[in-house]
Copies of this chain bind each other. A is one copy, B any other.
Amino acid sequence: MRWIGIDPGLRTTGFGVIDVNGQKLSYVASGTIESGDPDQGLPVRLGILYAGIKEVLETYHPEQAAIEEVFLNVNPRSTLMLGQARGAVIAALVSDKLPVAEYSALRVKQSIVGTGRATKPQVQEMVKRLLRLSRAPGTDAADALGVAICAAHHAQIPKAITTALAPKNSSKK
């Protein structure tokens, strides 16, 4: 199963593609899409992110996608900008009929490093080890690869176990 992970951002969106075969994870590709000069205006920048993701999909043909959830910035304008970038990226994924899972940064860090308080260098280092890379990827690409690894791990846990591990009140929602 081939996964694409995405760390969305208006200025820079990170992507990471991995293959998952049982317990074995293999690195396929990773990188960033830059939306360029803010003076181009928001629609043009969103178009660059959208086209960039489409190009990655056409190149690597992932079968599943996972994207990092957005935290609410103290600055509402930043939240809005990040939300729009995330919307354009998700549109690119679903326009290709990809199922899209969502994971919080906290959950990704817990899954990769073992603690939600992990630093960016710790995530980079663990992604490097888990994928047996000769050197650590950049922060945005590492975050995206981390989302893909987290999603692949999570998809392997049988439903019965996730239910058993869930906090008791989770069935009341």
The answer to whether A91 touches B88, judged by C-beta atoms less than 8 angstroms apart, is: yes
Q: Which residues of A from 93 to 138 have beta carbons under 8 Å from B?
A: 93-95, 99-100, 102
- Can you list 24 A-B contacts with CB-CB less than 8 angstroms, sorted by A residue number? A42-B90, A43-B67, A43-B93, A43-B94, A43-B100, A43-B102, A44-B94, A47-B91, A47-B94, A50-B91, A54-B95, A72-B76, A72-B80, A73-B76, A79-B79, A82-B83, A83-B83, A83-B84, A83-B86, A86-B87, A87-B88, A87-B89, A88-B90, A91-B92
Task: Give complex CA distance A81, B84 in Å.
Answer: 9
Residues of A that sit less than 8 Å from B by CB:
41-44, 46-47, 50-51, 54, 67, 70, 72-73, 76-77, 79-95, 99-100, 102
Please, which residues of chain B bring their CB within 8 A of the CB of A93?
43
Please, which residues of chain B bring their CB within 8 A of the CB of A80?
70, 72, 79-80, 82-83
